[in-house]
Every structure is written in C-alpha cells, then in structure tokens.
Structure 1
Amino acid sequence: MGGRRRKLTKIMSKFFSCASGDPAGFAGNSGGIAGMSPIGVRVYVQDRHVVLDNGILQVTLSNPEGIVTGICYNGVDNLLEVLNDESNRGYWDVVWNTLDGSSKAGVFEVIRATNFKVIKETEDQVEVSFSRPWDPSLQGKLVPLSIDKRFILLRGCSGFYSYAIYEHVGSMDWPAFSIGETRIAFKLRKDKFRYMAVADNRRRLMPLPEDRLPGRGQALAYPEAVLLVNPVDPELKGEVDDKYQYSCDNKDLKVHGWISMDPPVGFWQITPSDEFRSGGPLKQNLTSHVGPTTLAVFLSAHYAGDDLVPKFGQGEPWKKVFGPVFIYVNSVMGGEDPLTLWDDAKRQMLVEVQSWPYSFPASEDFLSADQRGNVSGKLLVSDRYVNSDLIPANRAFVGLAPPGDVGSWQRECKDYQFWTQADEMGYFSINNIRPGNYNLYAWVPGFIGDYRNDSAITITPGCEIDMGDIVYEPPRDGPTLWEIGITDRSASEYFVPDPNPKYVNKLYINHPDRFRQYGLWEKYSELYPNDDLVYTVGKSDYRKDWLFAQVNRKRDDNTYQGTTWQIKFALDTVNQSGTYKLRVAIASATLAELQVRVNDRTTNRPLFSSGLIGRDNSIARHGIHGLYWLYNIDIDGALLVQGDNTIYLTQPRCQSPFQGLMYDYIRLEAPSN
C-alpha cells in the first residue's frame, strides 16, 4: 500500500500548487497523500522547540530563536546536519558594520529571535513569527534592526516558506550602520547530500567538507579556493573546490540545491522573485557549495564591492520584506533515477514564479497582487548609423527601480526593483509592482549604454500604466570605424585560455563557462611573458586574440607589473579638424585604472584616465562581469594619422594579481557627418 500511496502522490503533484495554497508536492513515506491528507497542518509548541507538521514533512525550529533545527521527510529524521550544533543548521544571518569607525571588519550575526508567536493556524495553513525587537540598550551588540522572521507551512505542500521583515526606525536613538550581507543558510547532512545542481549544465557530485581541511586539501591564493590533494573520493583528486565557481546572476538564480541518492531525496531553495534582491538582474550571488550548503542571498557586496552595501544614517527610516523563498523537498520511488528530482524542482520553480506574489503571507508588509500595479510599453532604439528606422529593442532588459541617475539601478541596494525582458519586438510588461515612485530603466543587448525615463512613474494599487512607445538613443556621434566585442555587459565572447592542469574543476572542461576555472589570471604571464597583447583591426579575431581580462604580469621576483594593450588600425583618411569618439564599455573592474593614449605610449599624461575604479573582484571569483562602466573619450583628429595608428590601453595598478579590467565592448567612431 505504501508504494501505491507514493505513486499516487507523485501523480497528484502535477496538478496542484504549493504556492496557491492548494495541495502539492511529493509525499514520501513520512505522511499522508498530497491533496488527501486528513491531518491538515499542525503546530506543536514546546519549551525549546516549535514543530510545524502537515503529514508530509515536519519542520522543527528553536523557541524563541527561530533557527531551523530539523526537517523530517521521507523517512529521514533530519535532512539537516545532525553533527552540527542546532544553531548551525538552518538560519537567517546578517553581516553589519557601524558607520562611526568603531568597527573595521563586518560583524557576522546569526539572527536569534526573542519572541515567538503563532500568527495563523488553520487546517490549511500555519504561519509563525520569531521576532527580535531592537532598542538603544542593544547598541553595538546587535544589528540595529527590528527583525521578524516568518515561516509558513501549507496543507499538502512538500516544503515550507520563509520571509522576514527588517525595520530601522526613524528615531535618532537608532544609530547609523551598514549591511554587508543578509541571507538564509541551510547546512545539510554530508552523509546523504553529495550531488549539487545549480543549472542544467552546472551539476555534479561534490567533495565533502573534510576534503577542504589540511591533509586532504591544499590552500590556494585565497581561503575559498582549495586544491583537493587527498579527497575521500579519489575521483576528485587534483580538482579545485571554490564556492565562487557556482555563483549565478540574479536573473538566472531561481532554483538550486542538492540530491541524496539513498534515500532518493532532493532539497531545493526556490526564489520566485528578484524584487527584494539588490543590484538588479545582473547582480551575482552565491548559490550552493560544499558543506553541503544551500543559500538564499538577499544582499551582498559580491561582484560589486562597497557600492552594493546599503548604508543607513542615524534615524533613517527603512523597512523591507525579504522573501518569501520556498524550501522544497521531493523524492522518487525506489528504482527511479534520483537525478530526475532536479527536473521536478525546475517544474516546481515555475509554479512558484507563476504564483508570485503569493496570496497567503499574513504580514501586512507583504503586498498581494491586488495591492500592486503594472506597467507596459514598447521599447525602440534610434541609431541612424545602424538603421534609419526605429529598431525594436529585441530582448531588452526593462525594469522599475527607485529614482536615480542613468544606470543607477545596478548600484541600488535599499529598496525594491522589478524587471522583465522584452520580446523580439520590444514589447514589455512589468507586473506586480509595489506602490511607490520609480524610474523606468533599460539596457538593450547589441547597444551600449543605459536608458532611463526622466519622468518618475508613480505606482498605485491596481494601476495599469501603458507607456506606449519609448525610444532609446544610445550614445553615438558618428559611423563605426571599427569595433571589438559584443555589447552584452560581459567579457564572455573573448578568449578564455585553458586552465593550468594542476588547478581544474572538471565540470567546466569544454563548458560554456570556461571562465569559472581557478587561476586563469596566471595565464597572461605565460601567454605574454615579455610583450603585451596586440590586436590588429581587420586581422585579429576577438574570440581568439583578445583575452577576457586585462590582468597584471607576474615577474620572476613574484611582484606584478601593469600592462598596456595595443589596438592597431589603419585609416584611409583623417579629418584633422574633427573629433573622433572612442567608446569603452567595461564589464568589470577591480582596484584598476584605465589609461588611454593615442599614437604615443611614452607620454606621461594620458589622453584619458578613469582614475581608480571597481571593487567587484570578478577576476578572483570566476565571474565574467561585475559592475558596468561606460567611458566616451574624445580623440582630436590631429592625434591621428593617415595610415597606421595605435590606441594604447594601460592598466597600471599592480599590487596584486587580481587587479584588472574586463572589457565589454570597444568602438571607434568617425566624426559626425
């Protein structure tokens, strides 16, 4: 009978949605049939624990701290790491700093609540609150936020939801501070969860945490990267493990997690919306990594630096809802392929995305669909040197973010953002926007720069705003003389060398994400031991001859040397009295400087200098982009000659191997006609 019940459960899961409040999910042998559970949802309050139970899974939380100490499912008494202390299994955390200079390094704090309350308890839903108010007596001890962590379990649902409300009160008793990171972390049982999945082409059997310890692992250039010299599984010997190899753009980061082969169980973190994440769709965050660890990151400085660290003044009022995110567990019958759990997790992710915003959270701070508004329109591009007609903004990224300068959305980290991708004709619809004032922002693949609608857009509950046709005029002075790369805000189209055979992650061999291999910054010195890169327009191919990152050269004495790349090009004629325009779009910068010289590399004063820019650390963290920078540089025609010319791109900062630039796209324009 048990096998028949599980099979029926699996069939039922295709027809119901957890997110809608209806029965859904796989029920293993831990409880009733999804959609037919006679038990309903129960909450059991004990002295030190609170248990949420719907007959499919049981979630145990510490009382009153609100830390997830246990998840019982499919005959496994706890999916979380039982060898860890209860406080180190499933928790919300925050990294914060004072702004008065009294603390230099960020303070890591697991958020421990002090009050427990049942918010809602019916046969169909339980929502519980673990809150921790803040007052001035806690100054310097805890992050100056009142935090309310919520957990929701629905009837017949194979998973649970969590969200939190953070508030900094508008009173001068509340000090200034900053948040470097906040997230939810789950530490799973290492004896069961060995297979990790982040994407269809980014999934694999993972090392064990002890493989990273001395004796089994060898520390590399920074603590996160370890060479496996004597792993428990000999097949992994010689590989590099680094959590940053599994980072992901927000726009692609909807579901990730782990699979246990025996018993066949999946544990998945599903984020149905990006609205509460910082930095927009291209912000990169950590996902899952050796532990086994699963993360839902809401705020972080990764791949951006201090620009993505929100800073709050004394008495500055602020409130934000992070989540809900969905922790989904699933299973298959004996004899079935456990790897199909990943396919089911992707299907469940689509259900959650389609159900956003959820209707069931009880907090008035989480707004339902009828409390939100919608914006639609059509984005077109005007570039007369490409086409005399308006060009549909094919697959443009269009979003609403708080009012700011052009492109400010990528550095915005306090409030909400709402993004979509236009269709081939440039039509877009941004739905379920929280009320407030916004600018409309966009960027279009194939065109440089950023669009911003100058007039603020006010969203009210239930509004349907049709923007009509919107025209973006990307930066352009004259016709293109030559160009290097593709305007996609990344360096992915350029040459990525093979990694050092000593430092390989086998997942990324013959993989589109070749750039995720460890140590690629060292390859420049091997490829160009004496002279720097030279690119000849008309002869060179950027896919083979333009390295994905301009990094420093390592000298024999283990110091580093800045580099100067050359772009050689010929001009049949030169307008000596005209102004040429060099446009340099940078995809990443780490404590770097771009200097531009024309036809004379020896001049002390460059034609252009960016000054010191960037702290995204994408080179070390295997990212192909960080923050986007666009420089529009005037070149007096008198600096150019008929015949052969050279533009010199110098990155002189050389204290570390990780300082450098990644280029998105470079274009030289002739003077306007």
Structure 2
Amino acid sequence: MGPPSPAGAGAVDATDGVRVKVSNRYVEIKNGIFELTLSNPDGIVTGVRYNGVDNLMEILNKEDNRGYWDLVWNPPGQKTGIFDVIKGTEFRIIYHDENQAEVSFTRNWDPSLEGKAVPLNIDKRFIVLRGSSGFYTYGIYEHKEGWPDFGLGETRVAFKLRKDKFHYMALADNRQRIMPMPDDRLPPRGQPLAYPEAVLLVDPINPDLRGEVDDKYQYSCEDQCNNVHGWMSFDPPIGFWQITPSDEFRTGGPLKQNLTSHVGPTTLAMFLSAHYAGDDLSPVFTNGEYWKKVHGPVFMYLNSSWDGSDPTMLWEDAKVQMMIEKESWPYSFALSEDFQKTEQRGCISGRLLVRDRYIDDEDLYASGAYVGLALPGEVGSWQRECKGYQFWCRADVDGSFYIRSIVTGNYNLYAWVPGFIGDYRLDATLTIASGDDIYLGDLVYEPPRDGPTMWEIGVPDRSAAEFYVPDPNPNYINRLYINHPDRFRQYGLWERYAELYPDSDLVYTIGQSDYSTDWFYAQVNRKVDDNTYQPTTWQIKFTLDSVSPGSTYKFRVALASSARAELQVFFNDQNRGVPHFATGLIGRDNAIARHGIHGLYWLFNINVDSAWLVQGMNTIYLKQPRNQSPFQGLMYDYLRLEGPCGC
C-alpha cells in the first residue's frame, strides 16, 4: 500500500497491527492510522475516526444513515421501486491477524420474506489492512433458482460526511470546488427548479454561491473516468476519497454515466443504475434464474496534510493512491471465493483493423478503439448489459489491444471505433478459463457503408459535444462550468433553443453551415407557455447536381441520446401523411434534463429511394413529434448521406 497521507497521518503509528473489537452493538477495527466502526449485525458504517477527528461521518444523522449499502428493487408488475438500506442479520469475522481483518455482514433470503425483501442473499464485506489509510468494501449478491422474479433498479454504497467539515469536493483536475451546504437546498435558502434535484441558491450560507444552481447530476461522470472522487476538510486538512480500481463490476460499459459525489456532503460508489439509460440498464430476473455477482471491492481512502493551504495536495495524493489501487487489481487480499484472483483469471489480445474502401484501399488501424468483453448478445448489446462482468481497454495507435484479468466465463468480444459509425462483434463465443492468454490475431471491422459520402454532419464519437452548446441563462449558472470543456453541464440549456429559434426551427445548409455553431446540441421542444410545448422540425438543405434514377441512396443517422422521443424523417415533403422513416417512441435516458451530452447510442440506416430526391436543392426534414414535456428530445451524434454504390 502507498503512504497513508501526503505529509503523514498525524500522530499515529502506521506500524500498528490490525485490531478488531466486537461488542453487542458494534464492530471496531483499527490499525493505528484510523478506526472504523460498524454496527453489529447491520454492517452500517457508523463511524470513521481519523487524524484527531472522532467521526468523519455525519454525526447529526441517525447511525443507519451514515455509510451504507443500498438498493432499489421491485417485485413483478410493480413499477415503483422499493428503496432498501441493506442491513445484515449475521456478523462473522472471516479472517483476522495483525496484517489484515476481513469481516462479513450477511442477510439471507427465505420464503417468509417474499414481497417484503429483495430475493437475494447479500454478503457485505469490509477489509482493513496494516499500514493502509482506508478501508475496502465489497458485496456478493446471489439469487437462487426457484426464488421469486424481481427487478433491480440500482445498487451502490453511500457515505454521508460531516457537513461542518467537508466543504470542498473534487471529481477531476478541472471539476472541483467549494460546495453549497445541504441546508442551502431547502426553502427559503433554495428555490426548487424544474425537477427536485435542481435548486437555485437564493440565500446560501456562503454568500459567494448566491445565484448558482446546484444539481447532483451536474457532477455525473462516465465510468471510464470515474476512478476517484471525494471531499476535503480544511480544518483539519483531511480528504475522504472513494476509489474504484476497476470497472468490471459496473454495468453498461465504459461510457455508462453515474453519479459521483454531491451536496450532502455525499460520496457514492455506484455499481448498477438506470441513470442516463432508462429501464434498459435495470436487470430483471425471471424464471428463478441463478445469478451471482461480486460488486467491488472499492476503497475509501483517507489522507491528511500538515498544511491545509493548498487543497490540491490532498487531491494529487488521492490520484496517486488511485493508480496504486488500479495497479494492485485484482486484489490478492479479498478472501471471498467468489472474487477471482489474478491466477484464476485469463487474458486476451489481438489487433483490430477497419475496412472502409470508400476511405482507403488499405485496412486502417482502429486507433483508440474501445474493445471489450461482455456477456454474449447482439451487436452493440454491451451498452445495455447489466447482469455480468465487463472488461474493456483502449486499443493502441496500431489497433492492438490487450485485456487482462478477465473473470472466467463465456463472453462476446465487442468494439467500437471513434471516427466510425456502428458496432463490431466477433462472431464467436469466447470461453475464458483460468490462466488463458488467448491471441486472436487481426480482426477486421467493416463499418456500415453502401456508397460514397455525399455530405456529413458531426463526428461519429457517440457524443453531441461537437455541436453548438449555448451559454447558460445568467440566472441559472454553475460557476464551475463557465469556460469549461463540459459546458453542457449547465442547468436549463434546453430552454435556450426557443430563445435562439423563437418562431421557426433550425435550418442547416450543407456547404454553408458549421455544425459547431449552427447545429443545436439537442433537438428539444419549443416552450410556448408554462404548460405547453411545441414539437420541432429541423431541416437539412443540400444540392444534388444529378440524381441516379432507380437507385438507392443511404441516410445514416446516429443518435447520441433519446428521451421518450421519436425521430421522423421526410425527404422533400414534410406534409405527406406518413414519414418516409420513423423510429417510433424510443429512449428514456433523460440526458437532456441531467446535463449529459449523451445517453445510449442508436444507429438508423435509412434506404432513400432516388424518387424522393430531386436535381438541385433538396430538404430533409427531421421531426421530433412528442411534446408532452421540455425534456423529450434527441441528441445527434452524426448524420451522413451516401450516394448509390459506384456513382
């Protein structure tokens, strides 16, 4: 393990052995650096004593609302999820010597609990190591054959820290700031906005924050970047960090977005959620299927500094510790047989090439491709997969990839390549056994392509970030995101569309318009009044010197997001009774309301009869007809018109 803190952990003896004390109500584990107190047999983190502070947890909260595992589940046919703080009913010491303690809090299901508790056996584990400034936690969930059906909407670990001490939050080098107090979100200090998570700070305790918007979704993060986040206290200077060393147990792949830390002060380790995806990412267990999965371990890291003048010191140290944890994965010290160690796992490698003869006569390197293993499924199914493990890497500049430490089992290999549309899947099921090091050689991805590019809008990268993201309404800003690469995280940007286009909708002219300034980041409804929204129809205008009669063109539309929306496409006739193409109602990712620049990815390949086109000026109409709310809408990733083959 790394050093306990940037400048020592205070007056402690980091060489102390690990000690465990068990009483009727509590389990206390200490190692000379910190002391962890867990309720017995619930397994709730009631206290963390560190660096002269008796408890880093929020002492004003009840003990079961400080540090806890929770989940949201629903019985068959019940839409509303049931929130459940997971409390153990049996405590065990799995292992204890002077170098390590691992304890377990289990809650087992039996038929008498049907309808009252989620039908899972849950084993929550906590680990403290000698010389380590922090503790690990992981959970083993099991659903047995013959047990009732259920849906799982979310599961996570949450920590509520002391609001009198932890005021500075950090998620990334460019995403950290002094945060509001939880009291600031309540009337009269806070004014609720369009949904409960968003609050305007009208009279915050810290007057410097007056006029800002606070919304926990402004601090979301893609899982591929969600490795360390947390809070700092300045007096005394202490950091409390949540480190996730691997994404293997998180669902939905590397682009899945999750909550991190937010006002509370709260820090979360999200394992499974429907955020930015909808019900597609909520697994449903039916027909008594057997399922077992290990969530974690994740590491709660504590650090401190003699000099509290520079908060970045604690953040920089937390990033170093995060790299140490990642390099230590999979942990050798986690003792559950269900958590596979390095020697039990396998590896896979190869090289991915891209074949697009309309771009190059030679195969291209799939530079920077996302390559991963997930449960067997359809092409692209990894982004909706939510029961198994996933293992991802980024390919090198020559398309080479190497995926290490894969849990044994059956997988498909999936990939997608920035700069190209669509998804790759190797047409074979791969079985990973312990000790395997499988070399797949050269794999070739042929992205969708029928003819030459006549024009294109955007960049195929599964994000709408390259399009026009407006400045926020000055009455609803988060100052963190002013002049920030993530400017899309500001509140209320959807309302800016109606201000830019008060009477008519967006018109984009190929060869004249610039997608970075002329293509709004989201196709949203136009607000007419407080309760009325008008659907919008965007236009793409382009000129054809000639039309090849009796041939088929191809219009490819890649969506970065859809929120209870529909895309209808008309070619040169927006008044025909039936659109030339329609998706039907798709998507529940809520990325517009939740300040995401993407949700789930959709690709539509539309055959265009040459009879729909004309020589000269053509117009494609893109209509989003669903208009019950301001948050229904689409984000585009990329649009391309291809000519007929050989034209």
> Please, which moves more after superposition, 218-227 or 136-145?
136-145
How far off is 1:434 after superposition? Answer: 0.6
Equivalent-residue separation in structure 2 for 1:305 and 1:601 (angstroms): 31
Any runs of at least 4 consecutive aligned residues in structure 1 with deviations exceeding 4 A, and if so which? 23-27
CA distance in 1, matches of 2:325, 2:242: 11
The match for 1:634 is 607
Once residues 424 and 568 of structure 2 are traced to their aligned partners in structure 1, the CA distance between those partners, rounded to angstroms, is 27
1:172-200 superposed Cα distances (whole Å, 9 cap, x missing partner):
2x110011000000000001000000111
1:108 aligns with 2:78: no
2:43 to 66, 85, 97: 66
Asked if residue 118 in structure 1 is aligned to residue 93 in structure 2, the reply is: yes
Q: Partners in 2 of 1:201 and 1:662 — Cα distance?
A: 25
Q: Deviations over 1:395-438 (max 9, x none)?
A: 00000001000000000000100000001110000000011111
Map Cα deviations across residues 262-290 of structure 1 (whole Å, 9 max, x no partner): 10000000000000001000100000000
User: 2 CA distance for matches of 1:155 and 1:557?
Assistant: 59
1:213-228 correspondence runs (5 A): 213-228=186-201
State the partner residue of 1:249. Answer: 222
Inter-partner Cα distance in structure 2 for 1:245 and 1:355: 31
Distance 1:542 1:78 in 2: 52
Superposition map of 1:550-569 within 5 A? 550-556=523-529, 558-569=531-542
Instruction: For residues 492-544 of structure 1, give each alpha carbon's deviation from its aligned partner in whole angstroms, at most 9, with x where no partner exists.
Output: 00001111111000001111111101011111111111100000000000000
The answer to whether the aligner puts 1:32 opposite 2:9 as a matched pair is no
TM-superposition CA deviations, 1:195-254 (whole Å, max 9, x none):
000111110000000000011000000000000000001110000000000000010000
Using the alignment, how far apart are the partners of 2:436 and 2:302 within structure 1?
Answer: 37
Letter in 2 for 1:608: F
Aligned counterpart for 1:271 among listed residues 244, 247, 267: 244
CA contact (8 A) 1:62 1:69 kept: yes
Stretches of structure 1 lacking an aligned partner (at least 5 in a row): 1-15
Structure 2: distance between partners of 1:109 and 1:431: 35
In structure 2, the residue corresponding to 1:410 is in which secondary structure? helix
Q: Which amino acid aligns with 1:162?
A: T
Q: Distance in 2 between matches of 1:105 and 1:312?
A: 16
Indicate conservation of the 8 Å contact 2:272/2:386, yes or no: yes
Q: Alpha-carbon deviation of 1:24?
A: 8.2
Distance in 2 (CA, whole Å) between partners of 1:334 and 1:623 is 37
CA–CA distance in structure 1, aligned partners of residues 306 and 477 of structure 2: 36
How far did residue 25 of structure 1 move?
7.7
In the TM superposition, residue 140 of structure 1 has moved relative to its aligned partner by 1.3
Do the aligned partners of 1:25 and 1:158 also contact (CA within 8 Å) in 2? no
List aligned pairs for 1:113-262, cutoff 5 A: 113-170=88-145, 172=146, 174-262=147-235
Question: Which residue, 360, 370, 377 being the options, matches 1:397?
Answer: 370
* Aligned residue number for residue 64 of structure 2: 87
The answer to whether the Cα contact below 8 Å between 1:25 and 1:157 also exists between their aligned partners in 2 is no
Name the SS of the counterpart of 1:658 in structure 2. Answer: coil
CA offsets per residue over residues 361-396 of structure 1, 9 Å max, x none? 110000000000000000000001111100000100
Percent of pairs identical after alignment? 68
- Is 1:547 the equivalent of 2:520? yes
1:231-630, aligned counterparts within 5 Å?
Answer: 231-334=204-307, 337-556=310-529, 558-630=531-603
Q: What secondary structure sits across from 1:555 in the alignment?
A: strand
Alpha-carbon contact 1:26-1:158 (below 8 Å) kept: no
Distance in 2 between residues matched to 1:17 and 1:210, nearest whole Å? 37
Q: Is the Cα–Cα contact under 8 Å of residues 5 and 317 in structure 2 kept in the other structure?
A: no
Q: Do the aligned partners of residues 24 and 243 (structure 1) sit closer, same or farther apart at CA in structure 2, a change above 3 Å counting?
A: closer
CA–CA separation in structure 2 for the residues paired with 1:359 and 1:323: 13
Residues 27 and 158, structure 1, Cα contact 8 Å, conserved in 2: no
- Kept after mapping to 1: 8 A contact 2:6/2:313: no
Q: 1:336 Cα shift? A: 5.3
Task: Judge conservation of contact 1:298–1:322 (CA < 8 Å) in 2.
Answer: yes
Give 1:557 deviation, angstroms: 6.3
CA contact (8 A) 1:24 1:157 kept: no
Matched, 1:54 2:31: yes
1:27 CA drift (Å): 4.5
Amino acid at match of 1:558: N
Matched, 1:649 2:622: yes
Contact 2:6–2:304 (Cα < 8 Å) also in 1? no
Q: Do 2:236 and 2:308's aligned partners in 1 also have CA atoms closer than 8 Å?
A: no
Deviations 1:297-325 (A, max 9, x none): 00000000000000001421100000000
Matched-pair contact (CA < 8 Å) for 2:184–2:190? yes
What's the CA shift for 1:17? 3.8
Quote the offset at 1:26 in angstroms.
6.5
Distance in 2 between residues matched to 1:55 and 1:286, nearest whole Å: 32
Q: Distance in 2 between matches of 1:586 and 1:534?
A: 18
Query: 2:222, 2:257 within 8 Å by CA — same for their partners in 1?
Result: yes
Which is further off, 536-545 or 307-316? 307-316
Alpha-carbon distance between aligned partners in 2 of 1:633 and 1:351, rounded to the nearest angstrom: 48
1:345 aligned partner, one-letter code:
A
Q: How big is the shift at 1:141?
A: 1.2
Return the alpha-carbon distance in structure 2 between the equivalents of residues 60 and 358 of structure 1.
Answer: 23
- String of CA shifts for 1:617-666, please: whole Å, max 9, x gaps: 00000000000000000111111111100100000000000000000000
Does residue 98 of the first structure (1) align with residue 75 of the second (2)? Answer: yes
Q: Is the Cα–Cα contact under 8 Å of residues 5 and 303 in structure 2 kept in the other structure?
A: no
> CA offset at residue 560 of structure 1?
0.6
| 2: CA distance, partners of 1:422 / 1:30 | 46
Distance 1:547 1:135 in 2: 53
Structure 1's 637 and 286: CA in aligned 2 closer, same or farther, altered over 3 A?
same
Q: What SS does the aligned partner of 1:525 have? A: helix
TM-score normalized by structure 1?
0.95
Unaligned runs of 5+ in 2: none
Q: 1:115 to 1:556 in 2, by over 3 A?
A: closer
SS at match of 1:341: helix
- Structure 1 distance, partners of 2:60, 2:8, is 26
Q: Is the 8 A contact 1:443 1:451 kept in 2?
A: yes
Distance in 2 between the 1:313 and 1:358 partners? Answer: 32
Matches of 2:141 and 2:517, distance apart in 1? 48
1:8 is aligned to none
CA distance in 2, matches of 1:194, 1:576: 67
Q: Output the CA distance in 1 between the equivalents of 2:5 and 2:54.
A: 21
Deviation at 1:30, TM superposition (A): 5.0
Superimposed CA distance per residue, residues 44-73 of structure 1 (whole angstroms, 9 cap, x where no aligned partner): 101100001000000000000000000000
Number of the residue aligned with 2:54: 77
The change in CA–CA distance for 1:328 and 1:335 in structure 2 (over 3 A counts) is closer
Deviation at 1:556, TM superposition (A): 3.8
CA contact (8 A) 1:134 1:146 kept: yes
